[in-house]
Amino acid sequence: MSFADLPSELLGEVFLLVDGSYDYFGGDPYALVHKFTLSHVCTAWRSTALQLPLLWTHLYVKTDPDALMLPTALTRSGSMPLDVRITWNSGGIFDRAIQNNDALIDALLAHRALLKRLTIDWVTKLPEALTRLIGSGVEFPILEEIAARGVDKLPCK
């Protein structure tokens, strides 16, 4: 049996396992690039990925391309609760750190009613745009957990 013969339900389960645990291409579990790669292999895989909102609920954003893909991923999650991890890290010659901070925060604010977990990691100074998300009085109706780890204080008011 080949992957082409798998029912879409089983293929979807494989996608979820790969997304959460398999570190292919030296990437991170739940990295957005993994999800988009799976959804661009062929028509059948794309259809399966797009019909599987659960695939799009655990999201890891750490590069500028990730930040640009985030709105699409959030839309694909439908009305499922979201677990989002954001890492701000800069430095080095091949720096791909998040630059589109306002767009990233806008996307999260648009889906704040679905945020269940939010993890923020930073190795650099946090962007001012984050104050629009945390510490500004914005409500998150189903938020159960927020984790913040870094070298600087959170920019809360």
Q: Is 117 helix (H, G, I), strand (E, B) or coil?
A: strand
Strands of the 145-150 sheet, one edge to the other: 58-61, 82-88, 115-122, 145-150
DSSP secondary structure code for residue 24 in this structure? G
Q: Which residue has the higher pLDDT, 33 or 10?
A: 10
Tens of pLDDT, residue by residue over 4-18, are 778 889 989 988 888
Sign of CA dihedral 26, 104, 142, 82: negative
**CB-based burial label for 6 (10 Å; 0-12, 13-18, 19+):** middle
Angle subtended at Cα 85 by Cα 83 and Cα 91, rounded to the nearest 5 degrees: 170
- Give the residue with greater pLDDT, 62 vs 135: 62
